[in-house]
């Protein structure tokens, strides 16, 4: 799969348009799904980009590690957050968390990024989570579930090629990753899935998943199976409808 190119038209704010902005998306959709673990002493954000979520995460911790392989994004975050001692900037190789001290992280977060990466990259990150997390720490990872639609992907891809409309198909989700594969990778690496929410993304199919995971020996209870939520974009629409009537904040 080709590496997606990001234009950074509005520092990522453009991707929050269905929610009516990143503040509405954070407070309406993201925070309710991660509030159990906040505030946290130390947080790692994988794929921080231009800091769309970092600006909120930093308000809920004593230390925030930003991990990002793209120097353009890291530079943008340095400009945005400056020399705030609360933030460490880690330009990585797209798979390593070796710069993060073991056993120190209460929360690992990644949203709207790892949906695009290959299985090997997910595996590389997941294999390091148990070592980095504190005993009851958690990770919230937004990843692809497009693999569940593999047959229709290839049928649709063929149709699109014939119509010369390949760009934008399936929102550049990784075609191999699935909810089950992610769960297996967790199990193989000393982790358990506390919740796996399958969601639609700008369409009807549940091509994305939010997996909340913790160490096997943590106090948290494993979910028996995934939760299918076909109303995620409807949720965005409702948040947007309300948010537009209120003064907007920017972090
Ligand atoms: C669509 S942007 C989203 C950025 C940010 N999470 C947000 O929501 O605004 C995707 C980001 O993922 C980063 N990325 C791509 N491959 C990565 C990898 N293997 N590890 C970490 N970050 C990666 C890109 O450099 C880019 O900054």
CA of 221 to the centre of ligand 1 (A): 30
Q: How many Å apart are CA 209 and CA 27, to the nearest integer?
A: 19
Within 6 A (CB) of ligand 1 lie 6, 12, 46-49, 52-53, 68-70, 73, 94-95, 111-113, 117, 121
- In the prediction, which pLDDT does 251 show? 55
Strands (E) in the chain, as ranges, are 40-46, 61-68, 87-91, 105-110, 133-144, 191-199, 208-215, 227-229
Ligand 1 pocket mutation pick from 49, 57, 202 by most atoms within 8 angstroms of CB:
49
- In the prediction, which pLDDT does 210 show? 98
Can you identify the CATH homologous superfamily of domain 18-243?
Vaccinia Virus protein VP39 (3.40.50.150)
User: Which residue's CA is minimally distant from atom 25 of ligand 1?
Assistant: 70
- In the prediction, which pLDDT does 166 show? 42
- State the distance between the two ends of the chain, measured CA to CA, in whole angstroms: 34
DSSP-derived letter for residue 9 is: T
Q: How many Å apart are CA 210 and CA 228, to the nearest integer?
A: 11
CA of 68 to the centre of ligand 1 (A): 7
**SS3 category, 180:** helix
- In the prediction, which pLDDT does 27 show? 96
**SS3 category, 154:** helix
- In the prediction, which pLDDT does 30 show? 98
Closest to 244 in 3D by CA, of 13, 24, 10, 53: 24
Residue at token pair 């290839």: 154
Strands (E) in 38-86, as ranges, are 40-46, 61-68
Task: Note the pLDDT tens digit of each residue in 152-173.
Answer: 665 566 555 445 444 455 889 9
Claim: this prediction has a pTM higher than 0.85: yes
Q: Which residues of the chain have pLDDT under 70?
A: 1-4, 151-169, 249-251
């Amino acid at each position: 799969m080709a590496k997606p190119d990001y234009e950074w038209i509005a520092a990522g704010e453009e991707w929050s348009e269905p929610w009516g902005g990143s503040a509405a998306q954070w407070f309406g959709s993201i925070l309710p799904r991660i509030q159990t673990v906040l505030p946290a002493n130390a947080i790692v954000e994988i794929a921080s980009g231009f800091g769309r979520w970092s600006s909120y995460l930093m308000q809920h911790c004593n230390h925030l590690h930003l991990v990002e392989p793209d120097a353009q994004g890291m530079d943008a975050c340095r400009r945005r957050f400056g020399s705030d001692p609360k933030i460490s900037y880690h330009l990585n190789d797209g798979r390593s968390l070796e710069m993060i001290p073991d056993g120190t992280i209460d929360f690992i977060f990644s949203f709207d990024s790892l949906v695009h990466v290959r299985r090997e990259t997910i595996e590389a990150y997941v294999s390091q989570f148990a070592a980095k997390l504190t005993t009851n720490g958690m990770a919230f990872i937004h990843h692809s579930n497009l693999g569940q639609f593999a047959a229709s992907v290839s049928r649709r891809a063929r149709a699109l090629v014939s119509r010369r409309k390949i760009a934008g198909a399936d929102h550049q989700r990784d075609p191999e990753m699935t909810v089950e594969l992610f769960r297996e990778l967790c199990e193989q690496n000393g982790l358990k899935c506390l919740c796996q929410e399958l969601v639609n993304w700008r369409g009807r199919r549940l091509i994305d998943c939010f997996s909340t995971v913790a160490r096997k020996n943590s106090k948290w209870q494993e979910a028996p199976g995934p939760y299918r939520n076909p109303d995620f974009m409807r949720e965005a629409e409702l948040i947007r409808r309300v948010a537009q009537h209120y003064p907007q904040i920017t972090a």
